[in-house]
Amino acid sequence: MERRKFIRTCCYTTIGLPMLVSVLQSCGLIYYATSTRNANSLIVAKSEFWKVKKNKKVNRSFVLVRIEDDQFPICIYKFEEDKYIASLLKCTHRECELNVGGGIYSCPCHGSEFTITGKVLNGPADRDLKTYKIETDNEYIYLSLS
């Protein structure tokens, strides 16, 4: 790649990605759920997976959560009624934060893609994402952090 083109691409990526995340958050597509932490688990209310829009209940297919001692968010996907899967959005290639969209996780750094279950779809990453064991009750989702 030509040097000037490389620098331009890097500038667009550096400026464009935070703007894209900001736009997606303002559109409600990316939503950070409220969570609480106890000894070894992160607790998220199931109600975080829906919102009321124009007097209608609208479901979210995923929410993001953060844990204070990790720079990367966790994405919790709801793939069936009361079935969830959670993956750390940390690319296994060189540790860039993954984007969520279109039913996959994609890496803005070198293009790796992962399924919502954390499996590698396309490299250069060759290891699956870290996922978390999940239990639920009537109201809450419990992610095991141990």
Q: What is the binding site for ligand FES (CB under 6 A)?
A: 91, 93-94, 96, 107, 109-112, 124-125
Q: With respect to ligand FES, which residue has the nearer C-beta, 48 or 113?
A: 113
Q: With respect to ligand FES, which residue has the nearer C-beta, 91 or 143?
A: 91
Long-range contacts of 27-35 (CB under 8 A, 24+ apart): 29/101, 30/64, 30/100, 31/60, 31/63, 31/64, 32/63, 32/64, 32/65, 32/66, 32/73, 33/63, 33/64, 33/65, 33/76, 35/65, 35/66
Q: With respect to ligand FES, which residue has the nearer C-beta, 86 or 91?
A: 91
Cβ at position 33, least distance to ligand FES in Å: 24
